[in-house]
Amino acid sequence: MKVFVDGQYGTTGLKIHKRLSKRNDVELLSISAEDKKDPEMRIKVLNEADIVFMCLPDQAAREAVTLIKNPNTLVIDSSTAFRTHDEWTYGLPELSVTQRVKISSAARVSVPGCHATAFILAINPLVQMGLLPPGYPVSCQSLTGYSGGGKALIEQHEAGRYSDVNDSLKHPQHYSLSLEHKHLPEMKKFTALAFHPVFLPTVCNYYNGMVMTIPLVTRLLTNQPSLQEIHAALTDYYQGETFVKVFPLDDTKGISPYALDPTLCNGTNCSEIFVLGNDDQVLIACRLDNLGKGSSGAAIQCMNIMLGLDEGLGLIEGSANKV
C-alpha cells in the first residue's frame, strides 16, 4: 500500500509519518530534495498513492485535492477545509453506529479538529438520546498544549523557555476571544445543536494534551436527568468502543484536583470522559491528546477503516505493527 503525506514536515504530518514508518504494510512515498519545487513531480506522487494524507493549511488543501485525478486514490485531510462539506465524510468513527460504514466506503475523509473531537464525544450522545435539547445554551472551555497552534506557536514557546521576551507565554493564554473559533461549525453540525456553543480555548505552557470541560444545568435539560442518568447515557453510547472510555462514577468520587491533568492521554489515540458534579449541576470533561485522537491518531484510525484493516492497527498495544 502506497501512502503519501503531503505536508509531512508540519506537526500532524510528522506524527503520521512517524507512526506509518513503523508499519510493514505501508510504503511511504516521498519527493526528493531536488524535486520538491517541481509541481509535476508532486502531481505524479499524489496520483500514484493509494492513500494521501493532506496535512496542509486550508487553502493549500483545497488546491491539493484538485490535483488528484486518480479515482482510486483515497484522501484523508487534516485541515478545516472540508469538515462540514457535504461531499466529505467526517472522520469520527464513534459519532454514531453508522459512521464507520460511511468512513469505510468513503473516498474523501476529513479528520475532526482536536477541540471538536472532545466536544462532540462529550455532547453528541446526550443530544441523540434526547437528554440535551438542541437549543440548550452550551458553553465549554478547553485547555490545550501549545503544539495545537502549529509551528509558529511552537517556536514561540520553545524560544520563550530561554528568553524573557516571551515570558508571558509561560502562563495560560486565552484566545479566540471574539468567540469565533474555526472548530465551531463542526461542533454545531455534528452534535445537531441549534446554535454554536460559547467556546473559550486556552493554550498552556506544555507541548501536547488537552481537556475539554462542559458545564450543564440539569433543570434546563429534558426531564431534568440526574448525574447518574447522564453518566449512564454516555456509558451506553460508547459501550465496546476501543478509543473512548467513560470513567465509572465510583472512580470519580472524591476526585483529586490533579485527576483532569490534560497530558494523561498523551502518546495514545484514546479519549477519556468524566461525569462530575451533582444532580443539579453536571460537569462533563473529555481528555485526549491533541496530536493523537485530536489529529494524527484519528487520521490513521480512519485509514485503517477505509482499507478494511484492524481499526487499532499501529495505534494500540497488542496490534500488529504497533507504534
What is the rounded average pLDDT for all residues in the chain?
92
Instruction: Summarize the chain as % helix, strand, coil (round to 5).
Output: 35, 20, 45
Instruction: Just list the catalytic residues.
Output: 114
Output Rg (C-alpha) for the chain, integer angstroms: 20
Look at residue 319 and tell me if it is in a domain. Answer: no
| Prediction pTM value | 0.93
The count of domains in the chain is 2
| Residue 238 clears pLDDT 70, i.e. is over it | yes
Same domain, 94 and 128: no
Look at residue 138 and tell me if it is in a domain. Answer: yes
| Residue 159 clears pLDDT 70, i.e. is over it | no
| Residue 70 clears pLDDT 90, i.e. is over it | yes
Average pLDDT over residues 47-57: 97
Same domain, 144 and 279: yes
Look at residue 280 and tell me if it is in a domain. Answer: yes
| Residue 266 clears pLDDT 90, i.e. is over it | yes
Same domain, 47 and 12: yes
Query: What pLDDT was estimated at residue 320?
Result: 37
| Residue 163 clears pLDDT 60, i.e. is over it | no
Look at residue 266 and tell me if it is in a domain. Answer: yes
Same domain, 143 and 61: no
How is residue 50 written as a grid cell?
493509494
Look at residue 14 and tell me if it is in a domain. Answer: yes
Same domain, 273 and 134: yes
Of 179, 181, 125, 106, give the one whose Cα is nearest residue 149: 181
Rounded distance, CA 270 to CA 315, Å? 9
Tens-digit pLDDT profile for residues 186-199: 999 999 999 999 99
Same domain, 151 and 269: yes
Same domain, 20 and 150: no
Task: Give the whole-number percent of the chain exceeding pLDDT 70.
Answer: 92
Contacts 24+ apart (CB under 8 A), 233-237: 233/125, 233/126, 233/129, 233/131, 234/122, 234/125, 234/126, 234/273, 234/275, 234/284, 237/125, 237/128, 237/129
Task: Give the whole-number percent of the chain exceeding pLDDT 90.
Answer: 82
Same domain, 133 and 184: yes
Tens-digit pLDDT profile for residues 101-151: 999 999 999 999 999 999 999 999 999 999 999 999 999 999 999 987 766
Average pLDDT over residues 44-59: 97
Average pLDDT over residues 200-212: 94
Q: Are 131 and 221 in contact (CB under 8 A)?
A: yes
Query: What pLDDT was estimated at residue 121?
Result: 98
At residue 222, the 3 state secondary structure works out as coil
Average pLDDT over residues 298-323: 80
Same domain, 122 and 251: yes
Helix (H) and strand (E) counts for the chain?
Answer: 10, 13
Q: Which domain holds residue 7?
A: 2-111+293-306
Q: Are 68 and 49 in contact (CB under 8 A)?
A: no
| Residue 206 clears pLDDT 70, i.e. is over it | yes
Query: What pLDDT was estimated at residue 316?
Result: 74
Residue 206: which CATH number?
Answer: 3.30.360.10
